[in-house]
Amino acid sequence: NAETVSNFIRQKIEADAAQHKYDRVGLPPIITRFPPEPNGYLHIGHAKSICINFGLAQTYGGRCNLRFDDTNPEKESTEYVDSIKSTVKWLGFDWTDATGEHLHYASDYFEQLYAFAEKLIEAGHAYIDSQDADTIRAQRGQLHEAGQNSPHRDRPTAESLDLFRRMKAGEFKEGEHVLRAKIDMASSFIAMRDPVIYRIRFVHHHRTGDAWCIYPLYDFTHCISDAIEQVTHSLCTLEFENNRPLYNWVLARLVEVGALAQPLPEQTEFARLNLTYAITSKRKLLQLVEENLVDGWDDPRMMTLVGIRRRGFTPESIRLFCERIGVSKADSWIDMSVLEQAVRDDLDEKAPRAVAVLKPLKLILDNYPVDHAEPCKAPVHPHHPEMGERHFELTRELWIDQDDFMAEPVKGFFRLFVGNKVRLRYGFVIECTGFDTDEHGNVTAVHANYFADSKSGTEGSNNYKVKGNIHWLSDVSAVPAEIRVYDRLFNDAHPDAGGKDFLQALNPDSKHITQGMVEQSIANVAAETHFQFERHGYFVTDKVDSKAGALVFNRIVGLKDTWQK
Ligand code: ATP
Ligand code: MG
Ligand code: MG
């Protein structure tokens, strides 16, 4: 179950239900919505909001709408719309249910929003201001002092209405006039000090084209969109707390003029997700992409959901993560290790095991029969015999990982070094006898002898007690693969906290590409297939670049949390 509920949101839903606040004929008991602005790709913070909104709807037998909050045409595009839709689906949620497709765009409400704005003007609740943006901002004042009325605040209704219609007709330049709600210039909520609710913008909209040259602002659009869609619980992040009085004011005025009816949606805020070693701001993510500091929006190091997906995180792991972090009313930081552990916990049970050698080093068993191929086997999953067995052959020449050999072993190193014995997993015990080097002193091959009576699973194997147990591949059957080992994109746990330049915190060592080898049994796997590579961690075939015959693997996470601060 994907529900990520906190007590306070749940309590509100249950209290509302007890009061029959939203008992409406033909409508589900709760309606939530996920309202992204299509001005970028979704990030891990949005996953929290998606899990809360869709999860609560599931829990309470309601529905969740997907609504594009598309009222800022200059930054929005259908590319983002499409990506957001596929990401929500990938996470396992759907805005289509038995009652229909609940996909909406705030831009679909432009006519209605405009009509509502006229009603507010007619009722004396809005006026056209003809001052420039800087003046309006300055007059709003500071929290501890009252703001200053605009000289146009008491403009006659008929004049405001006329100007508003002419704004819509395109008679004025951008910035010449705005429509403001007439509320309270002394309010302790700055948002209530006659907020601008419409402005002139001669900008092409990705859906409405050039039909409009005035666009409504968020605070006017959002609450009305919620009301039109008969949303019950409008859940958003804490930064909107100060806008709640405005949300309620707009809806209450529209009820008074007969444009809307009770029961109205109500806004409840929860803490946004802040994840350490990550950036969750669309603007900053865009900057990383535009300055080519990453390989696009879906770079596997990016905390965009397309990046996280490409890295190999599963939807189940993201939902598990959201469940574990819960929902609170106070901002806090969640450690990246919580996300990483969620994917380990998800994949541990279901990912097939395989052997990969990331940095191959030749191992030659000098006393091994030249053409012998010893059949070996291993379970696909150690706890799930029903997943079957993998079969492979042990030959005289093998590939091992460079890290499993040391010419000059350090203290505590139990793997291969001259004179030491290790077990080749699922195979024989060997003893290292020497190694070859090139003219630079680099090790080019390791030599060993094997013990013919030591094979795993045979009686004789009990006579060998070795501390090291290393993985290997036969050079006859190993399949080449590109291996991309990723690390966290930032070195600093709080890369953009306190106005810091997050670009300074980029981890220069966050991507290592090696030409490795994998076992033959996985030579033809499809893209986006998950594995645990024994002793290395969790990997996935790259969604974009991996092909049968040209495999590319991304490391999702290591087996354990070994991140060094
Ligand atoms: P950004 O600050 O990155 O531009 P945004 O809040 O402007 O994000 P929207 O597309 O408006 O992005 O967000 C859609 C929904 O997701 C909103 O309800 C918003 O509150 C929620 N959301 C955005 N970021 C987070 C986060 N870090 N944690 C939880 N919810 C978030
Ligand atoms: Mg927003
Ligand atoms: Mg934003």
Cα 69 to ligand 2 centre (Å): 8
38 Cβ inside 6 Å of ligand 1: no
Q: Taking all residues of the chain, what is their mean pLDDT, rounded to a whole number?
A: 96
37 Cβ inside 6 Å of ligand 1: yes
Which ligand is the nearest neighbour of the Cα of 38?
1
pLDDT confidence tier of residue 332, bands split at 50, 70 and 90? confident
CA distances from 376 to 213, 424, 455 (A): 72, 11, 9
pLDDT confidence tier of residue 563, bands split at 50, 70 and 90? low
- Determine the pLDDT at residue 565: 38
- Cβ contacts of residue 326 below 8 Å, gap of 6+? 4, 6
Please tell me whether 69 is known to bind a ligand. Answer: yes
**Number of Cβ within a 10 Å radius of residue 202:** 12
Q: Which atom of ligand 1 is nearest to the CA of 53?
A: 18
Nearest to 358 by CA among 501, 483, 199: 483
Q: Quick check: 388 pLDDT over 80? A: yes
Q: Per-residue DSSP letters for 512-529?
A: EEEEEEE-GGGTTPPTT-
Please provide the distance, in angstroms rounded to a whole number, between the alpha carbons at the two ends of the chain. Answer: 34
- Cβ contacts of residue 469 below 8 Å, gap of 6+? 422, 423, 425
Residue nearest to atom 23 of ligand 1 (CA): 46
CA atoms of 179 and 194, how far apart (whole Å): 9
Judge residue 419's burial from the number of C-beta atoms within 10 Å of its C-beta, 0-12 exposed, 13-18 middle, 19 or more buried: exposed
Q: Quick check: 204 pLDDT over 90? A: yes
Cα 239 to ligand 1 centre (Å): 10
Q: Quick check: 67 and 35 in contact, CB under 8 A?
A: yes
Please tell me whether 1 is known to bind a ligand. Answer: no
- Determine the pLDDT at residue 134: 97
282 Cβ inside 6 Å of ligand 1: yes
Judge residue 8's burial from the number of C-beta atoms within 10 Å of its C-beta, 0-12 exposed, 13-18 middle, 19 or more buried: middle
Which ligand is the nearest neighbour of the Cα of 235?
1
* 3 state SS of 356: strand
Token digits of residue 512: 């290592």
45 Cβ inside 6 Å of ligand 1: yes
CA atoms of 296 and 96, how far apart (whole Å): 30
Cα 38 to ligand 1 centre (Å): 11
Cα 84 to ligand 2 centre (Å): 14
Give the residue numbers annotated as catalytic, written as ranges.
Answer: 37, 272, 282
For each of the domains in the chain, give its residue range(s) and CATH number, in order of start: 7-270 (3.40.50.620), 282-350+481-557 (1.10.1160.10), 353-477 (2.40.240.10)
- Residue tagged 């994998």 (tokens): 518
H or E element, residue 540: strand 537-541
36 Cβ inside 6 Å of ligand 1: yes
Please tell me whether 180 is known to bind a ligand. Answer: no
- Cβ contacts of residue 60 below 8 Å, gap of 6+? 13, 17, 29, 30
Which ligand is the nearest neighbour of the Cα of 236?
1
Which ligand is the nearest neighbour of the Cα of 88?
1
Cα 313 to ligand 1 centre (Å): 20
Tens digit of pLDDT for each residue in 18-66? 999 999 999 999 999 999 999 999 999 999 999 999 999 999 999 999 9
CA atoms of 138 and 120, how far apart (whole Å): 25
Which amino acid, residue 375?
Answer: P
152 Cβ inside 6 Å of ligand 1: no
Q: Ligand 1 pocket test: which of 66, 69, 237, 281 has the largest number of ligand atoms within 8 Å of its C-beta?
A: 237
Q: Ligand 1 pocket test: which of 46, 279, 332 has the largest number of ligand atoms within 8 Å of its C-beta?
A: 46
Measured in whole angstroms, the distance separating CA 404 from the mean position of its chain's CA atoms is 35
CA 519, 522, 524, 528 torsion-angle sign = negative
CA atoms of 437 and 16, how far apart (whole Å): 75
CA atoms of 472 and 474, how far apart (whole Å): 7
Q: Quick check: 203 and 74 in contact, CB under 8 A?
A: yes
| Helical packing angle, 157-168 and 110-122, nearest 10° | 160
Cis status of the peptide bond prior to 379, with omega within 30 of 0 = no
Tens digit of pLDDT for each residue in 426-470? 999 999 999 999 999 999 999 999 999 999 999 999 999 999 999
Q: Quick check: 552 and 542 in contact, CB under 8 A?
A: yes
Cα 267 to ligand 2 centre (Å): 15
**Number of Cβ within a 10 Å radius of residue 431:** 18
- Determine the pLDDT at residue 561: 74
**Number of Cβ within a 10 Å radius of residue 475:** 16
35 Cβ inside 6 Å of ligand 1: yes
The number of residues in the chain equals 565
The angle at the Cα of 402, spanning 392 to 473, to the nearest 5 degrees, equals: 5
CA distances from 206 to 210, 212, 222 (A): 9, 11, 19
Exposed e or buried b per residue across 163-173, where buried means at least 16 C-beta atoms within 10 angstroms of its C-beta = bbeebbeeebe
Q: Is the pTM for the entire model greater than 0.80?
A: yes
Nearest to 388 by CA among 377, 375, 404, 401: 377
- Determine the pLDDT at residue 330: 86
3-state class percentages of the chain: helix first, strand second, coil last, to nearest 5: 30, 25, 45
Q: Quick check: 6 pLDDT over 60? A: no
CA atoms of 405 and 398, how far apart (whole Å): 13
Residue nearest to atom 22 of ligand 1 (CA): 46
Q: Quick check: 267 and 244 in contact, CB under 8 A?
A: yes
- Cβ contacts of residue 441 below 8 Å, gap of 6+? none
Tens digit of pLDDT for each residue in 490-539? 999 999 988 899 999 999 999 999 999 999 999 999 999 999 999 999 99
Tens digit of pLDDT for each residue in 251-309? 999 999 999 999 999 999 999 999 999 999 999 999 999 999 999 999 999 999 999 99
Nearest to 59 by CA among 7, 120, 104: 7
Report phi then psi at 167, rounded to 5.
Answer: -60, -45
Please tell me whether 307 is known to bind a ligand. Answer: no
**Strand segments (E) across 15-111:** 31-34, 63-68, 96-97, 100-101, 103-105
Q: How many CA atoms lie within 13 A of 396 on its CB side?
A: 7
Tens digit of pLDDT for each residue in 70-119? 999 999 999 999 999 999 999 999 999 999 999 999 999 999 999 999 99
274 has which bridge partners? 333
Q: Ligand 1 pocket test: which of 6, 41, 44, 49 has the largest number of ligand atoms within 8 Å of its C-beta?
A: 49
